[in-house]
Amino acid sequence: MNKKGVILSLLSCIILTVAARLELVVEMCRHGSRVPQRDTFGTKYSNGKGMLTPSGLRQHYLLGVEMRRRYMKGYPNVHQLIDPSFETGEVFARSTQTRKTVQSASAQLLGLYPLGIGEDLPPHLADVALPLVKIPNVDQIIEDLGPDAIKKGKQPVSVRNFGSEHDRFLGFGGCPYMSNDFIRRSNDTEVWQYNDDKFRPLIFNQIAQAFGRNPDDLHFMTILDYLEALYTEEFEGIQNRFEFSDGEWEIVRSMQVAYLLNILNPLSSEILALRHIDPIRELMRAKMGRDFNETLAGEFGDAKFVLLSSHAYQMAHIIHRMEPENLELNHIDFASVLLFELHRVDSRGCETSTSESCFFIRVFFNDLQLKLPGCRDIDCTFRDFSRHIDGFDINEEKMHQICYSEKPLEGVNLDQF
């Protein structure tokens, strides 16, 4: 073998050993900046209510490009997890059923998958690959496409979504106890009194002034629409309702997580967290080659990269319940990500082992790696991670009992986030 050959085989050897390390990534993200869902309080946006703004689309597109750099084969990274050519078995994208989250996932997937890789159309099929309606300038369009099946060799990736009343994973499906709790609490002034007492003296005058309201007309329970308008306007650089000092703005920001966490009681909050973390843990077990619950892991097919396009609401409860020791969560910015990485320990004996001790987990909130309690190191062994989850007050069985201890309240719209 000549020198070049030796170096090449050395290189491929390194890539192969390193390539064996990362087994699974689950990315949960918040949608990007968006037009407020319910009330824009007079501010005009180019997009309709609840849709991403151009900045929100850009945020997710860039996020996708970064995920490509981190995890895609052929990029100068260490992980080499997924193939640049989309394969259904490798990447599974799922979203809640709102415009902003579906748009976020689509924008991110356009960033993740490079252009020009989509399969070409064999030339002899140009006459076959036509829809059944007549297209007057079809020859011109086909000529412009060249060999690309669709423009620029894009790779469309499907984003699955289900109505929030059916979705047992990202939504409220299969747990009347939790959705009823949500509905009752969102309307129960007593539940919000603590936060009202806390924030009223600090910031209600300023918020009222920003919207030309009387502070006595504001209540923490119904403050979310005002907050959402402010957060978007601030992000988009068009907030000119009120000049909040830095300290005041921090308070306004912190009302987000205070609101989101309080809308569920501690038990519902734990149910929501476990409903997300348990299927992820089972998918990890599947990747480790261990016994796993197929119903739970089956939420994601057999993917190596799972994208869950969701909301600050879900993320707040999940992060809160994991009790990270190095994060005080008070605001979840647009396009925030919560990343779970499953790694195989890179040592002799672990190359193909299914032993729990051969695996560890990294959890990130944006660029901060979270230190979970019960984990000796910030890189958490699978065993410690799993024990931490088992330390929740409920498990799958108990959750099932609690969830069906009530009948769903009728006629309430749950699509709040």
Ligand X SMILES: *[C@@H]1O[C@H](CO)[C@@H](O)[C@H](O)[C@H]1NC(C)=O
Binding map of ligand X across residues 8-47, x = CB under 6 A, - = no contact = ----------------------------------------
Which residue in 275, 282, 300, 272 sits closest to 386, CA to CA? 282
Cα distance between residue 384 and residue 396, in whole Å: 19
Instruction: Give the nearest distance from C-beta 413 to ligand X in angstroms.
Output: 7
Binding map of ligand X across residues 277-316, x = CB under 6 A, - = no contact = ----------------x-xx--------------------
Binding map of ligand X across residues 164-203, x = CB under 6 A, - = no contact = -------------------x--xx----------------
Instruction: Give the nearest distance from C-beta 323 to ligand X in angstroms.
Output: 23
Q: What is the DSSP letter of 203?
A: I
Instruction: Give the nearest distance from C-beta 302 to ligand X in angstroms.
Output: 17
Q: How many residues bind ligand X (CB under 6 A)?
A: 8
Cα distance between residue 258 and residue 250, in whole Å: 12
Cα distance between residue 348 and residue 345, in whole Å: 9
Q: Which residues pair with 310 in a beta bridge?
A: 30
Instruction: Tell me which long-range contacts 326-329 makes (C-beta under 8 A, separation of at least 24).
Output: 326/368, 326/370, 326/371, 327/365, 327/368, 327/370, 329/257, 329/365
Nearer CB in complex with ligand X: 233/270:
270
Instruction: Give the nearest distance from C-beta 187 to ligand X in angstroms.
Output: 4
Nearer CB in complex with ligand X: 139/291:
291
Instruction: Give the nearest distance from C-beta 25 to ligand X in angstroms.
Output: 23
Q: How is 217-246 classified by DSSP, letter by letter? A: G--GGG-HHHHHHHHHHHHHT---S----H
Instruction: Give the nearest distance from C-beta 51 to ligand X in angstroms.
Output: 22
> What are the φ and ψ backbone dihedral angles of 25, each rounded to 5 degrees?
-130, 130
Where on the phi/psi map is residue 313: left (φ > 0), alpha (ψ -120 to 50), or beta?
alpha
Interface residues for ligand X in 361-400 (CB under 6 A)? 396
Binding positions for ligand X, rule: CB under 6 A: 183, 186-187, 293, 295-296, 396, 412
